[in-house]
Structure 1
Amino acid sequence: MSATTAPTLGGPSKEVSVASALGRRRKRTDAIIRWLCIAATVLGLLFLVSILATLFWKGFSGLGLNVFTQVTKPPGSGGGLLNPIIGSLIQVSLATLVGTPIGLLVGTYLAEYAGESRLGNVVRFVSDILLSAPSILVGLFVYQFLVLPFGGFSGWAGVAALAIIVIPVVVRTTEDMLRLIPNTLREAVIGLGAPKWKMIVLVCWRAAISGIITGVLLAVARVAGETAPLLFTSLGNLNWSLSLSAPMSSLPVTIYSYAGSPYEDWIVLAWAGALITTLGVLGLNILARSVLRQRS
C-alpha cells in the first residue's frame, strides 16, 4: 500500500507548487505590464502638457483686439489675422459640407450594401489609402487638376483638397459605427415592413449619430491644421479677399510663413494663430458633445 500511495501523495503537492509558481510569475508579469503602461501614459501626458503649456504661454501673449480686427500687414505695422481666420473658416466649412455627405454615403454603402463584395473591398482599400496618404500628395493632385489648368491658385482648389482629406475619415467612422449596430435591430425594422432605405435613415443613422459626428469632428480637426495641401492650392493672400476664385489666406499657411520669419511681431502672431486654431477645434468638440448629450 505504501508503494502505491507514495506517488499519489507527492503528485498533488508538486502540482500545487507548480501552480503557485505560475501564479507568482503571472502576477509579476501583470505588475510589470501595468507599470509600463502607467509610465507610457505619464510620459505621453508630460509631452502633451508641455506642448499645451508652451502654446498657451506664448499664444496668449500675442492675443489682442488687433488679431481679430486687423488684416495681415508688413512687419512692424501692427497687423492682425482677420483675413487668415475668415479664410480658414470659409475653406474648412465648405470642405466639411462637401466631404461629409460623400463620406457618409460611401460609409453607408460599405456597411449596409457592399459587404465583402469585390467592389466594396476595392472602395474600402482606396479609402484606406486616402486615409493614410500624406496630405501633400493630395495638394499635388489638386494642383495638377485644378490649379494648373485654370492658370492660378484659388480658394476653390483649397476647398477641394481639404474635402478629399475629409472624405476617408468620415467613410471609416461611418462604416465602423454602422457595423456596431446589431442585426436584430435591422431585422425588427424590416419585419415591420419598412423599406431598407428608411431603416438606414431613420434607425441606423440615428443609432450611430454620435459616432458619425465624432468622425466629422475628427476630420474637421485634421483639416483645420493642414498646411501642405493649401500651399499648392489656395496658396495664401496678405490682402483682404473673400473671393474663392483668387488666392485665399488661411491660418495654417500664415502660421507657417510667420513662424519662420525673422520678425518678432510676426512670430508672436504665429503663436496667437496656433492658439486660435487649437481653441477653435476644442470649442467645436465641446459644443458638439454637449448637443449630443442633450439629445440623448
Structure 2
Amino acid sequence: MSLLERESPGVVMTPDHLRARKLPVVADLGIAVLALLLSAAVVYGLGLGNWVLVIAFGVVLYLAGLYFGASRIEGKRSARNRAWRSLIYAACLLAVLPLASVVWTLVSKGAARLDGDFFGSSMNNIGARDPNGGAYHAIVGTLEQVGLATLMAVPLGVLGAIYLVEYGRGRFALTVRFFVDVMTGIPSIVAGLFVLAFWVLIVSPWFNDGTPRFSGFAASLALTVLMLPTIVRSTEEMLRLVPGPLREGAYALGVPQWKTILKVVLPTALPGIVTGIMLAVARAAGETAPVLLVAGGAAAINMDPFAGNQSSLSLFVYQQAGDASKYAPDRAWTAALTLVALVLLLTIAAKLLARRNRLS
C-alpha cells in the first residue's frame, strides 16, 4: 500500500487519477475549422479583404478559442502553455509561407524556358518578336564578376577579422570596426558610384589610350566593396565564439600565435565563416545597380572581364522584366530561377567542403 493510500484510506488510485485531462485532438481541429469558417464569413461578408486576411484573422480566432476550450478542460496554466505554443507554431508557419511562395513562383514560372537554347545562346541579334535568346552571356558575367569579387573580398575580410579579434587593440582597431559597421549599411548604388568615379573614369583611361571603359572587373570591385563588411563582421563573430581554452592549450604547448590561429582557431570557426562568406556571395550575385553603372551590360557574350561591357543574371532579369516583348517575362523568370539555383549550389558545395575540413 502506498503512502497516499495509507494517509487517505478512502482514495483508490487508478490509472485515470494519474492522468491529467487533455483537450482532444478532434476538438482542437474543430476549433481551427470553426475559426477559419467564422473568419471567412466576417472578411468576405463585410468585404474587408482576401484570403490572406482570412488566414490572419482565423489564427487570432483559433488562439482565442483554443485558450477558452483548454482552460475549461485542462486549466488556465495548461491553456496558456498550449496557446503560446500554438502562437509559436503559427509564427513559424507565417515565416515559412513567403519563402515557400517565392520558391513556388520561381519554379512554376521559371520552368517555361528551361531549355538548351536559354543556357547556350545570348541575346545578340534577338528582336522583340523572336522567342529565342538566352542568358549564356549573363551566366558567364555573373560567374566571372562574383568569382573575382570573392577572390578579392574573402582574404581581405578574413584577415581583417583575424586582426580585430586576435591582434587589434586600441584606437586603430576601434576605428576599423566603426568603418566596417558603417560600410555594412552602405547602399549598392553608392559602391557603384565610387567605382565609377575612381576606376572607370580615372584608372581605366591609363590602360585604354585615355578613354574610360566599362568592364566586368569594375563590377567585381563594386561587389567587393559590398561583400567586405559582411565577411568581416560574420568572421569576427565566429572567431569570438572559439573557446579560449583551445588557444591557451596551444600556447601552453609552445605553439606560436600565428600557427594557433591557422591550425586551431580557423578550422574550429570554419563552418560559420563559410556561412558568412556565402551570405556575402549571395548578396553580390543579386546586385543590379553596380553592374549597370560600371559594367554597362551587353547582349553579346564577353569572356574577358577586363575589357568591354559585360552583363550579369541580375541585370539580365532587370532588363527583361522591363522589355516590351511578350517573350521577355519568361526569360526573366528563368534567369531568376537560374540565379537562385546557382547560389544554392555554391552554398551546398561550400558547406560540404567546410564540413569535410573542419577540426574534429
TM-score of the pair, normalised by structure 1? 0.86
Deviation at 1:81, TM superposition (A): 0.8
Could you say which residue in structure 2 is the equivalent of 1:191? Answer: 252
Measured in 1, the distance between the counterparts of 2:155 and 2:104 equals: 37
| Paired residue type of 2:293 | F
In 2, the alpha carbon distance for the partners of 1:96 and 1:25 equals: 56
Aligned equivalents of 2:256 and 2:134: distance in 1? Answer: 55
Residue by residue over 1:203-232, the C-alpha shift from the partner in whole angstroms, topping out at 9 and shown as x without a partner, is 111111111111111111111111111111
CA distance in 2, matches of 1:124, 1:163: 18
Say if 1:92 and 1:224, in contact at 8 Å, map to a contact too.
yes
CA distance in 1, matches of 2:194, 2:241: 34
Q: Deviations over 1:124-178 (max 9, x none)?
A: 1111111122211111111111122232322121010011111111111111111
- Percent sequence identity over matched residues? 40
Residues of 2 paired with 1:174 and 1:134: CA distance? 21
Letter in 2 for 1:63: L
**Which of 277, 281, 285 is matched with 1:220 structurally?**
281
Please state whether the residue corresponding to 1:148 is helix, strand or coil: helix
* Offset at residue 27 of structure 1 (A): 6.2
- Larger displacement relative to structure 2 (97-106 or 149-158): 149-158
Alignment of 1:41-56 (within 5 A): 41-56=92-107
Shift of 1:282: 1.0
> 2:88 is matched with which residue?
37
Separation (CA, whole Å) in 2 of partners of 1:241 and 1:124: 38
Indicate which of 297, 315, 333 corresponds to 1:253: 315
* 3-state secondary structure, aligned to 1:104: helix
Alignment partner for residue 121 of structure 1, among 155, 174, 186? 174
Question: Higher relative contact order by CA 8 Å / sep ≥ 6: 1 or 2?
Answer: 1
Larger Rg: 1 or 2? 2
Give me the whole-angstrom Cα distance separating, in 1, the residues matched to 2:76 and 2:214: 64
Equivalent residues of 1:98, 1:163 under 8 A apart: yes
Which deviates further from its counterpart, 144-153 or 233-242?
144-153
Distance 1:39 1:79, change over 3 A: same
2:271–2:355: 8 Å Cα contact kept in structure 1? no
Residue of structure 2 aligned with 1:167, choices 228, 232, 235: 228
Aligned twin of 1:18? none
| C-alpha contact (below 8 Å) 2:161/2:236 kept by paired residues | yes
Q: Which amino acid aligns with 2:335?
A: G
Residue 275 to residue 113, structure 1, CA distance change in 2 (3 Å): same
| Distance of 2:336 and 2:325 partners within structure 1 | 17
Report deviation, 1:36. Answer: 3.2
Where does residue 95 of structure 1 map in the other structure? 149
Question: Are 1:242 and 2:321 an aligned pair?
Answer: no
Structure 1 residue runs of 5 or longer lacking an equivalent are 1-23
Does the CA contact (< 8 Å) of 1:102 and 1:167 recur in 2? yes
Q: What's 2:337 paired with?
A: 275
Specify every segment of 5 or more residues in structure 2 that has no aligned partner in the other structure, as ranges: 1-74, 205-211
- Count how many residue pairs are aligned between Structure 1 and Structure 2: 272
Partner of 2:186: 133
CA 1:49–1:185 in 2, change beyond 3 Å: closer, same or farther?
Answer: same
Amino acid at match of 1:198: K
In the alignment, the residues of structure 1 paired with residue 346 and residue 289 of structure 2 have an alpha-carbon distance, to the nearest angstrom, of 23
Q: Do structure 1's residue 200 and structure 2's residue 200 form an aligned pair?
A: no
Contact 1:235-1:253 within 8 A present in 2 as well = no
Matches within 5 A, 1:135-154: 135-149=188-202, 150=204, 151-154=212-215
Q: CA deviation at 1:267?
A: 1.4
Are 2:148 and 2:217, in contact at CA under 8 Å, matched by a contact in 1?
no
Distance, in Å, in 2 between the alignment partners of 1:145 and 1:35 is 55
- Cα offset, 1:111, TM superposition: 0.9
Aligned residue in 2 for 1:262: 324
Q: How far is 1:35 from its partner?
A: 3.4
Supply the distance in 1 between the matched residues of 2:87 and 2:173 (Cα, whole angstroms): 40
- Counterpart of 2:67? none
Q: Deviations over 1:7-42 (max 9, x none)?
A: xxxxxxxxxxxxxxxxx8876665554433322221
Partner of 1:231: 292
Distance (whole Å) between structure 2 residues aligned to residue 286 and residue 81 of structure 1: 23
Q: In the alignment, which residue of structure 1 is the partner of 2:348?
A: 286
Paired with 2:88 and 2:339, the residues of 1 have a C-alpha distance of 31
Answer whether contact 1:59 1:275 (CA < 8 A) is retained: yes
- Asked if 2 retains the 8 angstrom alpha-carbon contact of 1:110 and 1:175, the reply is yes
* Residue type at the aligned position of 2:173: G
TM-score by length of structure 2 reads 0.72
Q: CA offset at residue 292 of structure 1?
A: 3.2
Alpha-carbon distance in 2 for matches of 1:130, 1:294? 32
